[in-house]
A and B are shown apart, each in its own frame.
Chain A
Amino acid sequence: MEKILKRYFPLFVLPTLIAFTVAFIVPFVLGGYLSFTKFTTVTDAKWVGIGNYIKAFSNKDFLSALWFTARFAIVSVLSINIFAFALALLLTKGFRGTNLFRTIFFMPNLIGGIVLGYIWKLIINGFLQHWSVTLTYSPSYGFWGLVVLMNWQMIGYMMIIYIAGIQSVPDTLIEAAKIDGATLWRILRSITIPLVMPSITICMFLTVSNSFKLFDQNLALTAGDPANRTSMLALDIFNTFYGKVGWEGVGQAKAVIFFILVALITLPQLLLTRSKEVEQ
């Protein structure tokens, strides 16, 4: 049986391979190629070498977007994971209505980014009206607005992953620790956290990559205002690609840089948190 399966392996893998090639490998390679060309549509590309990359790095909007995104990612990754973990701890203590709370906290995640961004824009502008300013008054308003929005949306999702992790911690271990006289803090540090490390790996990865790739919330909340100073990388790439005549190639180059950057950040992060995982 195994032998037959092995013999027909290429045949079985073919449909998936074709789909993968068409949907991922071809666009991926084409995308890389286009970043070295000047083009209006993908069929009339002219080779220009690394010119696009030089333009991308000398473009001050891109550099400011990079810096803004980096700051945003650090703040939101920390806050989302801390809040989500705290909520998960609370909601595994067996309070009344735990399920209701879990559902409620998870719900914001079901709303699309554009709608969320628009709603938060109204809320924040309404709040700021007391001081006769709007969200676009200063880039830091937009920054904190995005952090709040992202937290509100992502905490529930991460919380669910943490809850699953915490629930898989065997009660026997905790009981044994209690009998040995461990404090709650000690139990958390020495038993719960090491055992939920796989959840932390996933949550860190999701929050880091989502913070870097944030687009629709950014577009709906500030659209880069004031003066492109709250544009994140994805929005800046979009604006370059569609907003500037003749800059499509530069937009593509930025996208490639963006990809490499996110890969460079998330892969070590995966390795690092994974090395901390323990086998039960």
Chain B
Amino acid sequence: MKMKRVFSAVLGSTMLMSMLAGCGGSTETSVAANGGEIYFLNFKPESAEIYDKITADYEAETGVKVKVVTAASGTYETTLKSEIAKSEPPTIFQINGPVGYQNWKDYCADLKDTKLYSYLTDQSLAVSSEGNIYGIPYVVEGYGIIYNDAIMQQYFSLTNKAVDISSMDQINNFDTLSKVVTDMTAHKDELGIEGVFASTSLGAGEQWRWQTHLANIPFYYEFSENVNFDNSILAGLDAKTVDFKYSQNYKNIFDLYMNNSCTEPAMLSSKSVDDSMAEFALGKVAMVQNGNWAWGQISGVDGNTVTEDNIKYLPIYTGIQGEESQGLCIGTENYFAINSKVSKEQQDASIAFLEWLFSSEKGKAYVTNDLKFIAPFNTFTEAEKPADPLAKEVLNWMSKDGVKLVPWTFSCFPSEDFKNTFGDGLVSYAQGQEDWQAVEKTVKDAWASEVAAKAE
């Protein structure tokens, strides 16, 4: 019995110790280190294997070793935090925009004098602070409402449809979109669909299409009205509070998504983005809001019925005045930063690697054909653009005359918590527990409190 007591006391105390130790940041990831001079911490897991090929080629060509480590999906910040504290930290990492820069500013080197910066087609895209450049975007992405043209054509050919339009080009505002969508819902059996829109995924971690991407639109318009700034992102970064002036417009489109969906609003909190993309790929629905990165998901679904030439984009219309000329939301969340705490040689070598990747023939071929990036650099010719249908559509919209593209203003949202609180509000609204006024208040309060928390 005596032994048992001693044992339980020891067991007890070690368990308690391990608890605190566990919180001490011992997140050592198993990393295949090969001690390279350049260390690139990659954000995109889908590109991990391609980077291995790229670095092998680069080493063969220049003799410079590049070590690439890829953070698992959703763990980039975690991995970066532990990797950068090591004796051989990443020399190239990425930040997600001005807000991410705030967190990593002690580690970001100035890139103003690099060739990479001079290659940018639009230099205002870079992350800058006090005239210096700290983050360079390397991929441009776009999102909007993806639709299946086959189903739309089928609808337009119906004889008993309630609207008098017969092509997607004629949908250029919320009013028309709403009429078409409601009428399609009425005819859904004839069209062989379960709903017009795919599920508005509101599961935990699956809400970014709404609390980030869709929220971009009302806040873009709100911040654009601030005449003190020529850029909505900068205006947003400066805003201590928001009016959420276009909240009603957000509600317009969000209601349309929910009420004409294949899933009941109350059940949405169990749906994921994958669910939505599968519904679209299987032809159960005609439309889904997402970006060009979703092509891989759509084409990868077993039994996919959507053909490449039937997949098209529609801008997200919300009923804001003058939206007839609005285009897709185009921007980026991926910026390269160079670690300022490594030696000058390593910094230069890292920059040279990136310049090689985005300006040499070989590098560019990888970017276009394998990574499938729409790279925002002037070193790429027309022929060197990715060929998947959604990327092509994005490029199409970018080159349309008289179309106003919506920048990714959401990069000024104060924090992840702000977005999550917004998402929680949407869940309560979808489940009928809160009315829209409550959501509006939640958003405004969360913005103010998150900005205040950052200022401390």
The interface of chain A, by Cβ under 8 A from chain B, is: 23-24, 27-28, 30-32, 34, 40-44, 55, 125, 129, 132-137, 198, 201-202, 205, 209, 213, 222-228, 237, 241-248, 251-252, 255-256, 258-259, 262-263, 266-267, 270, 274, 277, 279-280
- Shortest C-beta distance, B60 to chain A (Å), equals 34
Bound Cα distance from A155 to B300, whole angstroms = 42
Bound Cα distance from A279 to B267, whole angstroms = 57
Q: A44-B106, A227-B428 are in contact. Are A242 and B17 (CB under 8 A)?
A: no
Bound Cα distance from A41 to B104, whole angstroms = 10
Bound Cα distance from A209 to B77, whole angstroms = 29
Bound Cα distance from A198 to B23, whole angstroms = 30
> Is B158 located at the chain interface by the 8 A CB criterion?
no
User: Is there an interface contact between A202 and B8, defined as CB atoms closer than 8 Å?
Assistant: yes
Task: Tell me which of B85, B99, B416, B424 contacts A225 (CB under 8 A).
Answer: B424
**What range describes how many residues of B lie at the interface?**
35 or more
User: Is there an interface contact between B424 and A222, defined as CB atoms closer than 8 Å?
Assistant: no
Bound Cα distance from A72 to B281, whole angstroms = 42
Inter-chain residue pair count (beta carbon < 8 A): 142
Residues of B within 8 A of A225 (CB): 204, 269, 424, 427
Residues of A within 8 A of B53 (CB): none
Residues of B within 8 A of A23 (CB): 21
Task: Name B's interface SS.
Answer: helix
Whose C-beta in chain A lies nearest to the C-beta of B99? Answer: A245
Q: A24-B17, A41-B81, A41-B85 are in contact. Are A243 and B416 (CB under 8 A)?
A: yes
> Is B78 located at the chain interface by the 8 A CB criterion?
yes
User: Is there an interface contact between A28 and B24, defined as CB atoms closer than 8 Å?
Assistant: yes
Task: Tell me which of B5, B20, B84, B428 contacts A41 (CB under 8 A).
Answer: B84
Task: Tell me which of A134, A262, A263 contacts B270 (CB under 8 A).
Answer: A134
- Shortest C-beta distance, A194 to chain B (Å), equals 12
Residues of B within 8 A of A243 (CB): 415-417, 420
Bound Cα distance from A237 to B20, whole angstroms = 12
User: Is there an interface contact between B24 and A30, defined as CB atoms closer than 8 Å?
Assistant: yes
Q: A27-B20, A125-B270, A246-B103 are in contact. List 4 more A-B contacts (CB 8 A).
A: A40-B106, A136-B204, A242-B77, A270-B12
Task: Tell me which of A202, A245, A255, A259 contacts B16 (CB under 8 A).
Answer: A259
Residues of B within 8 A of A41 (CB): 81-82, 84-85
> Is B437 located at the chain interface by the 8 A CB criterion?
no
Whose C-beta in chain A lies nearest to the C-beta of B433? Answer: A137
> Is B25 located at the chain interface by the 8 A CB criterion?
yes
Residues of B within 8 A of A137 (CB): 266, 269, 431, 433
Task: Name A's interface SS.
Answer: helix
> Is B344 located at the chain interface by the 8 A CB criterion?
no
Residues of A within 8 A of B104 (CB): 40
User: Is there an interface contact between A213 and B103, defined as CB atoms closer than 8 Å?
Assistant: no
Bound Cα distance from A31 to B22, whole angstroms = 9
Task: Tell me which of A244, A251, A266 contacts B417 (CB under 8 A).
Answer: A244
Bound Cα distance from A55 to B85, whole angstroms = 25
Task: Tell me which of A42, A125, A255, A277 contacts B20 (CB under 8 A).
Answer: A255
User: Is there an interface contact between A132 and B103, defined as CB atoms closer than 8 Å?
Assistant: no
User: Is there an interface contact between A28 and B20, defined as CB atoms closer than 8 Å?
Assistant: yes
Q: Could you list 7 A-B pairs, sorted by A, with CB under 8 Å?
A: A24-B21, A28-B17, A134-B270, A226-B427, A246-B454, A270-B8, A280-B1
- Shortest C-beta distance, B328 to chain A (Å), equals 29
> Is B19 located at the chain interface by the 8 A CB criterion?
yes
Bound Cα distance from A132 to B417, whole angstroms = 28
Whose C-beta in chain A lies nearest to the C-beta of B75? Answer: A242
Residues of B within 8 A of A135 (CB): 269-270
Bound Cα distance from A195 to B84, whole angstroms = 54
Bound Cα distance from A92 to B420, whole angstroms = 50
Bound Cα distance from A137 to B266, whole angstroms = 8
> Is B159 located at the chain interface by the 8 A CB criterion?
no
Residues of A within 8 A of B29 (CB): none
> Is B368 located at the chain interface by the 8 A CB criterion?
no
User: Is there an interface contact between A205 and B8, defined as CB atoms closer than 8 Å?
Assistant: yes
User: Is there an interface contact between B4 and A31, defined as CB atoms closer than 8 Å?
Assistant: no
Residues of B65-90 contacting chain A, CB below 8 A = 77-78, 81-82, 84-85
Residues of B within 8 A of A205 (CB): 8, 11-12
User: Is there an interface contact between A132 and B266, defined as CB atoms closer than 8 Å?
Assistant: yes
Bound Cα distance from A274 to B11, whole angstroms = 14
> Is B102 located at the chain interface by the 8 A CB criterion?
yes
> Is B9 located at the chain interface by the 8 A CB criterion?
yes
> Is B205 located at the chain interface by the 8 A CB criterion?
yes
> Is B26 located at the chain interface by the 8 A CB criterion?
yes
Complex A-B, nearest 8 residue pairs according to Cβ-Cβ distance, in ascending order: A223-B204, A255-B23, A227-B424, A31-B24, A27-B24, A41-B85, A259-B20, A27-B21
User: Is there an interface contact between A224 and B204, defined as CB atoms closer than 8 Å?
Assistant: yes
- Shortest C-beta distance, B414 to chain A (Å), equals 9
Residues of B within 8 A of A247 (CB): 453
Contact with A along B204-232 (1 / 0, CB 8 A): 11000000000000000000000000000
Bound Cα distance from A42 to B4, whole angstroms = 39
Q: A201-B8, A227-B424, A244-B415 are in contact. Are A40 and B23 (CB under 8 A)?
A: no
Residues of B within 8 A of A266 (CB): 12, 16
User: Is there an interface contact between B1 and A31, defined as CB atoms closer than 8 Å?
Assistant: no
- Shortest C-beta distance, B364 to chain A (Å), equals 34
Q: A213-B19, A245-B103, A263-B16 are in contact. Are A42 and B25 (CB under 8 A)?
A: yes
Residues of A within 8 A of B428 (CB): 226-227
> Is B18 located at the chain interface by the 8 A CB criterion?
yes
Q: A125-B270, A209-B15 are in contact. Are A245 and B454 (CB under 8 A)?
A: yes
Q: A41-B84, A129-B267, A136-B427 are in contact. Are A28 and B21 (CB under 8 A)?
A: yes
Bound Cα distance from A135 to B203, whole angstroms = 10
User: Is there an interface contact between B204 and A222, defined as CB atoms closer than 8 Å?
Assistant: yes
Bound Cα distance from A209 to B11, whole angstroms = 12
Bound Cα distance from A245 to B421, whole angstroms = 15
Residues of B within 8 A of A241 (CB): 23
- Shortest C-beta distance, B262 to chain A (Å), equals 15
- Listed residue (A28, A34, A209) with the most chain B CB atoms within 10 angstroms of its CB: A28
- Shortest C-beta distance, B341 to chain A (Å), equals 9
Residues of A within 8 A of B19 (CB): 209, 213, 258-259, 262
Bound Cα distance from A130 to B21, whole angstroms = 44
> Is B175 located at the chain interface by the 8 A CB criterion?
no
